[in-house]
């Protein structure tokens, strides 16, 4: 049984031609409940809609499974309006999945709706936008391929928020691969690829905020890889932003954005162009291909200091055109011994300095440990960060011994940032069982340990005085037994 049709069909455009694998109709299909295009019931591979919308979701709690079928728009008149492949208006809890949508004006439209999941769709040749989201919230887009949209691959606008874009591939858009505008917020783009747009890879416009672009590839777009206009408090981290035709990142009148741990390579004419932007923070990026960085009427931070309080990591960025030396270490780079940071700042202009340029491309290892929280009476995770130009492996931590160890190959320096809950006290560092001079200091929350590596293959051991503060009996946790031991022996003298 077919879904409910809108109105009467015109026999000229409504027929079943199973021998050719097509079902033709000139009326949209209204869908509610759970509907699957089962191959046994619907043996044609393509549903062709003549001059009309495709599927219209008419109820909440609807699942539409295209089950590998193709949905195609066919214009009746020359340059006919492309209509909408799947329309979701004023609905909640809708799932669309598993199919191909071709040649509509909009592949899918989500308007005034919430809790919508769109996944595993191939959307191509939309005359306007592949997926269009207006004034909606809690929308998940995952594992979709969107290509050759006439305007934008994905457009998000009109105060939409809570949008997740996971593992999508957006390519060959006429304008932006992804556009986020009109005060939209809480948008995350994760593990996605945005490439070969005729304009911008990703655009963030008109006071949109809390946008996170993480572990994604933004490459080979004709203009900017990422364009940020009048938008604040966004995060760009772990991305490959390369080979874009007009700036890797462009920021205009945008403040308090964080750009970190990205590879920014071979963008022309600059890696980052920033105009009228302040209090942005840019650190731990790898700038490759000797690109310019341009700042106009802007002042931002290009490093996170040297052992900043509560920060995992330290330093600035790696610049492949930096030709400074590394003889000294310390906050003022005046302590003898290398630390992987150039001794002289990398100047962008008078108002923008990377005070701690990295000598090697950024690379780090984060190791999670469970520790008992005395205050909250539950187990929490703490991270040890290892920052080195060496290859780190075989990390081991023995809580009762207050010691950790690892191997380091083909490196010259190492820095560890250790939460106070993991190890405390003074430290002994050995490399290949030989005590090694180190620079150690701490703040209220972390211990920072720097030391040099001189051999290709090093076995490193670090021992503290105690593994965990308050662990009296050395069993790797602080519990009632430790409190009892203290109470029993309170006031005793040795």
By the 10 Å C-beta count (0-12 exposed, 13-18 middle, 19+ buried), 344 is classed as middle
Distance of CA 309 to the CA centre of its chain: 24
**Confidence at 374, pLDDT banded by 50, 70, 90:** very low
- Mind listing the pLDDT tens digit for each residue in 403-444? 889 999 888 778 787 877 777 777 889 999 999 888 777 766
What does the block give as tokens for 173? 């858009």
What percentage of residues in the chain have a pLDDT greater than 70?
82
Give residues with Cβ within 8 angstroms of 406, minimum separation 6: 386, 392, 393, 394, 395, 396, 460
Looking at residue 231, its pLDDT comes to 96
Looking at residue 15, its pLDDT comes to 54
Looking at residue 493, its pLDDT comes to 61
Higher-confidence residue of 381 and 387: namely 387
Looking at residue 97, its pLDDT comes to 97
Contact between 363 and 388 under an 8 Å Cβ cutoff? The reply is yes
Does the pLDDT value for residue 309 go beyond 50? no
Low-confidence winner among 43-52, 73-82, 237-246, 317-326 (lowest mean pLDDT):
73-82
Question: What is the DSSP track for 187-220?
Answer: EEEES-EEE--SS-SEEE-SS-EEEEEES-EEES
Give the bridge partners for 100, in sequence order.
70, 122
Does the pLDDT value for residue 61 go beyond 50? yes
Return the domain boundaries, the chain. Answer: 369-466
**Confidence at 20, pLDDT banded by 50, 70, 90:** confident
Contact between 390 and 370 under an 8 Å Cβ cutoff? The reply is no
Q: For residue 1, what are the CA distances in angstroms to 21, 40, 96, 263, 330?
A: 17, 12, 19, 53, 75
Strand-pair category, 193-195 with 217-219: parallel
**Confidence at 379, pLDDT banded by 50, 70, 90:** low
403 phi and psi angles, rounded to 5 deg = -140, 150
Does the pLDDT value for residue 157 go beyond 60? yes
Do you find a cis peptide bond into 276, omega within 30 degrees of 0? no
Report the alpha-carbon distance of residue 281 to residue 206 in Å, rounded. 21
What does the block give as tokens for 396? 């081991």
* Residue whose C-alpha is closest to residue 45's, from 25, 64, 18: 18
By the 10 Å C-beta count (0-12 exposed, 13-18 middle, 19+ buried), 449 is classed as buried
CATH (residue range 369-466): 2.60.40
DSSP state of 3: P
**Confidence at 27, pLDDT banded by 50, 70, 90:** confident
Mean confidence (pLDDT) of the chain: 85
- Mind listing the pLDDT tens digit for each residue in 82-131? 699 999 999 999 999 999 999 999 999 999 999 999 999 999 999 999 99
Give residues with Cβ within 8 angstroms of 127, minimum separation 6: 82, 103, 104, 105, 150
| For range 58-69, the mean pLDDT | 95
| For range 57-75, the mean pLDDT | 94
Looking at residue 11, its pLDDT comes to 43
Does the pLDDT value for residue 363 go beyond 70? no
Does the pLDDT value for residue 4 go beyond 60? no
Give the global pTM: 0.78
What does the block give as tokens for 148? 């050759």
Low-confidence winner among 14-23, 35-44, 173-182, 439-448 (lowest mean pLDDT):
14-23
């Amino acid at each position: 049984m077919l879904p409910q049709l809108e109105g009467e069909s015109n026999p000229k455009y409504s027929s079943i031609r199973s021998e050719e694998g097509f079902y033709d109709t000139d009326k949209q299909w209204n869908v509610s409940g759970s509907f699957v295009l089962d191959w046994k019931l619907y043996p044609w591979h393509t549903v062709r809609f003549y001059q009309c919308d495709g599927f219209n979701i008419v109820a909440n709690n609807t699942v539409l499974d295209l089950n590998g079928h193709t949905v195609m728009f066919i214009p009746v008149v020359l340059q006919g309006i492309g209509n909408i492949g799947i329309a979701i208006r004023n609905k909640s809890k809708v799932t669309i999945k598993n199919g191909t949508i071709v040649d509509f004006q909009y592949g899918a439209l989500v308007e005034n709706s919430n809790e919508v999941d769109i996944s595993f769709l191939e959307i191509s040749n939309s005359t306007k936008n592949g997926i269009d989201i207006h004034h909606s919230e809690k929308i998940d887009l995952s594992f979709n391929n969107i290509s050759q949209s006439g305007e934008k691959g994905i457009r998000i606008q009109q105060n939409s928020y809570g949008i997740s874009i996971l593992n999508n591939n957006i390519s060959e858009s006429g304008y932006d691969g992804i556009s986020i505008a009109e005060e939209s917020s809480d948008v995350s783009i994760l593990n996605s690829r945005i490439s070969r747009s005729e304009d911008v890879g990703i655009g963030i416009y008109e006071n949109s905020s809390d946008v996170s672009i993480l572990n994604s590839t933004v490459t080979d777009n004709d203009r900017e890889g990422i364009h940020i206009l009048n938008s604040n408090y966004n995060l760009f981290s772990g991305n490959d932003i390369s080979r874009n035709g007009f700036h890797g990142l462009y920021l205009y009148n945008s403040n308090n954005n964080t750009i970190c741990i990205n590879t920014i390579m071979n963008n022309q004419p600059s890696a980052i162009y920033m105009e009228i932007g302040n209090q942005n923070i840019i650190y731990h990026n790898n700038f490759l291909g000797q690109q310019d960085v341009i700042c106009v009427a802007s002042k931002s931070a290009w490093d996170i200091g040297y052992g900043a309080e509560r920060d995992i990591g330290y330093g600035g960025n790696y610049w492949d055109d930096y030709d400074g030396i590394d003889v000294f270490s310390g906050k003022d780079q005046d302590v003898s011994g290398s630390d992987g940071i150039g001794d002289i700042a990398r100047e962008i202009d008078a108002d923008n300095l990377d005070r701690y340029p990295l000598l090697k491309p950024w690379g780090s290892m984060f190791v999670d440990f469970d520790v008992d929280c005395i205050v909250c009476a539950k187990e929490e995770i703490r991270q040890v960060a290892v920052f080195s130009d060496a290859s780190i492996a075989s990390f081991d931590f023995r809580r009762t011994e207050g010691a950790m160890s690892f191997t380091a190959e083909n490196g010259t320096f190492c820095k560890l940032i250790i939460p106070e809950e993991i190890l405390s006290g003074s430290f002994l560092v050995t490399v290949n069982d030989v005590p090694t001079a180190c620079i150690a200091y701490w703040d209220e929350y972390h211990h920072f340990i720097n030391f040099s590596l001189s051999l290709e293959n090093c076995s490193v051991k670090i021992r503290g005085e105690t593994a965990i503060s308050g662990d009296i009996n050395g069993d790797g946790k602080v519990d009632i037994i430790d409190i009892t031991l203290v109470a029993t022996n309170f006031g005793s003298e040795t």
